[in-house]
Structure 1
């Protein structure tokens, strides 16, 4: 058998204890492998990649598995590289506020470690307890606080990458002020692991904020124009919210027990600054709206619940219908139109739709739960709506069987030839994460 042959060859240079001989069970999200290996060193990662490249084998890479339903239309590759053992802090320089870490470390593990030094990574990924820093960087993950934090591309200052031929390259560095040459980090961040396996990540850090609060302004559907005017006015002032996120009624009902559109405005700074901005919003908010303020611990608890309320690719499907997660990009204020469309689709389909979007950055995330036909129809309708707004829809989570029916990334962009050219140069044998990225790369 082919699998037996691969297994025998892997054992010649890979410790047997780090190979899962029986492979992995078929997974509804795919992106698995016939044989799973658990490298402990960069050299082991390079060895298995070089072997696969020379023998025309395919490789998938997995961290915490939260993004297993994101991209790819094959159940598995020949080999699955699991980063479960490849974790830990490589170097931390508190005085320089920089950190170098292995990609298998979960985001929460890193943040808990940094807490002792009163430091943190300024990112807010979903499912932080399960999501690994490698997966977050590979997908360029971000959440509502992207308005104040930026995305993974803004936090990463350096990477070590193992190419499919086994060579190890470094992009960027371990210091913040590094401006020599091209910023090659951005080539790999968000590439879904199709150009190389990340073996080290260097990040810039920020101090833990002294104070934090969350202002929740409630709007009815017929007062959304007030919400838009308020957001435009707020963004044109001196205040600097880290989040300006509009939630649809279904999500508001789940998290806040009130079925209304809710604008969540987050502030993080020293206490005097947070209080000043809070009072500023109090005076600016539209008349007739309801305002609720969550202070420090209450605000953190809200965000914790918020980040957990998404489908998890590492969890089995429960059989109660299909779950899908969509990322929708539009001009920032068109987020309101996206969420209104979600309400219309929810009324016309037998679906639960929980959506939210940033009125400062224009990225929306929509979770669909329901029957297969309704989910597929809703994805199509939201793509049509986004196209009318000159936007796009990317499907971030969907079972494998449905990913074969839906083009996860949508239409190929005009620059697809550039992506194809880079892939052909770096991974000509298409060894890594085949079909996982834009245009089936």
Structure 2
């Protein structure tokens, strides 16, 4: 079989300009290797679905490797992968196509930011119950492709619970439609779920339809702190055994808690929020406050009101690193730690102790109702070896709990040496088979996802 002749940059530019116009093709002549951003010689900005079909069909015919990109907040997520020829930016694929307030559904383009969508839905007193970090930059397509979520997952779930229909362009340019734009769908295999969390390796979203919810009429939260972690563990047990229904429940380490609540920098904090009618929220807050009093645990702050509670949760999410904003001369590591919910305090203690031993500044928060913890280290390049050792300790400890660690952000030259997705899982073989079937030429994000697919 003859070897494929690779197009030159000038040839690629000529072809792309013919598809989208010269104003929508940009050449990048960056010196050096970008540590936290996707890099390719060229960026193309399609503005409609037809152009995405044309670009991917052309890419498949010419073996051009493509990396889809939304807001760029997840550029440093996953393996560096194979060398990319073009970045397919979806920034110009933005806007709401249809909002049916009565049916509680909304259809939007993939480059629409989460904040843009929430502001439009808020006019009708509705919202999409997803709360990943950096909502002013994170796009709907990127959120779904990365399977991103935040503290609100404790009550509301993830993108898998809200995406009900989509239009997706396969790597060969074929357009498919999945699901239906109604909340009550027919039984059968939900093709939407195949693409959620696939990191853009199977297709490019061109349209997404979500079911949405009314904004809760009231919300409130308690920030609870104590120098004795055993008391907080006991409070966690009481909370989990109760019939309370938190919208978020996060174990926060002292360093992060001090910045958010002004608490002692060494003391962990529990943040527990509720969203419902005002009577229900106040009852649950009072019940939890009485439980704190009985244990002798201090309530650092009581937050009342929907906007005020959301603001605190927003502050918790926004401490997470953003690939778009990290300078290349900084060493930033963000790790997602997956465990049983009862093990979150133990995960905190293990990664905090390891960070303290290595002299690394750590921010940590873990979901007591989700089992998803996130640990962030912002260090200097001279501490690279200490960071490697801390990561190995975290991975080993999670393994001992039958959990796993996933590196969500790291500089490129470290990701080449790390097992970003953790230990190989049983379903990776199946996922490799799906990738080979849908993208045999490895056009979309090759090598970025689990197992190098």
Classify the TM-score, shorter chain: over 0.9
Is residue 310 from structure 1 mapped to residue 328 from structure 2 by the alignment? no
> What are the Cα deviations for residues 25-64 of structure 1, in whole angstroms up to 9, with x where unaligned?
6522243221110000111001111111111110001110
Partner of residue 239 from structure 1, selected from 244, 251, 259: 244
Q: Trace 1:423-438 onto structure 2 (pairs within 5 A).
A: 423-438=435-450
**Mean Cα deviation higher: 8-17 or 186-195:** 8-17
> What are the Cα deviations for residues 257-291 of structure 1, in whole angstroms up to 9, with x where unaligned?
21211111010111111111111112222522101
> What are the Cα deviations for residues 164-195 of structure 1, in whole angstroms up to 9, with x where unaligned?
11111111111110023211111100000100
CA distance in structure 1 between the aligned counterparts of 2:408 and 2:439, rounded to whole angstroms: 24
1:83–1:103 Cα contact (<8 Å) kept: yes
Is residue 227 from structure 1 mapped to residue 236 from structure 2 by the alignment? no
**Mean Cα deviation higher: 235-244 or 133-142:** 235-244
Q: Which runs of 5+ in 1 are unaligned?
A: none
**Mean Cα deviation higher: 96-105 or 287-296:** 287-296
Is residue 55 from structure 1 mapped to residue 87 from structure 2 by the alignment? no
CA distance in structure 2 between the aligned counterparts of 1:318 and 1:20, rounded to whole angstroms: 22
1:94 alignment counterpart: 101
**Mean Cα deviation higher: 370-379 or 71-80:** 71-80
1:31–1:72 Cα contact (<8 Å) kept: no
CA distance in structure 1 between the aligned counterparts of 2:192 and 2:52, rounded to whole angstroms: 20
Please give the TM-score of this superposition, normalised by the length of structure 1: 0.96
CA distance in structure 2 between the aligned counterparts of 1:317 and 1:16, rounded to whole angstroms: 30
CA distance in structure 2 between the aligned counterparts of 1:436 and 1:147, rounded to whole angstroms: 28
Partner of residue 331 from structure 2, selected from 322, 325, 342: 322
> What are the Cα deviations for residues 59-90 of structure 1, in whole angstroms up to 9, with x where unaligned?
00111000011013248511110011110001
2:156 alignment counterpart: 149
Q: Which runs of 5+ in 2 are unaligned?
A: 1-6
> What are the Cα deviations for residues 230-283 of structure 1, in whole angstroms up to 9, with x where unaligned?
223222322110111100111111211212111110101111111111111122
Is residue 197 from structure 1 mapped to residue 204 from structure 2 by the alignment? yes
1:342 alignment counterpart: 351
Q: Trace 1:271-310 onto structure 2 (pairs within 5 A).
A: 271-285=278-292, 286-291=294-299, 292-296=301-305, 297-310=307-320
Is residue 77 from structure 1 mapped to residue 84 from structure 2 by the alignment? yes
Indicate the SS of the match to 2:352.
helix
Q: CA RMSD in A?
A: 1.5
Closer/same/farther in 2, CA of residues 300 and 49 from structure 1, 3 Å limit:
same
* Aligned-pair CA distance for 1:359: 1.2
CA distance in structure 2 between the aligned counterparts of 1:70 and 1:273, rounded to whole angstroms: 39
* Aligned-pair CA distance for 1:22: 4.1
Please give the TM-score of this superposition, normalised by the length of structure 2: 0.93
2:117 alignment counterpart: 110
1:32–1:60 Cα contact (<8 Å) kept: no
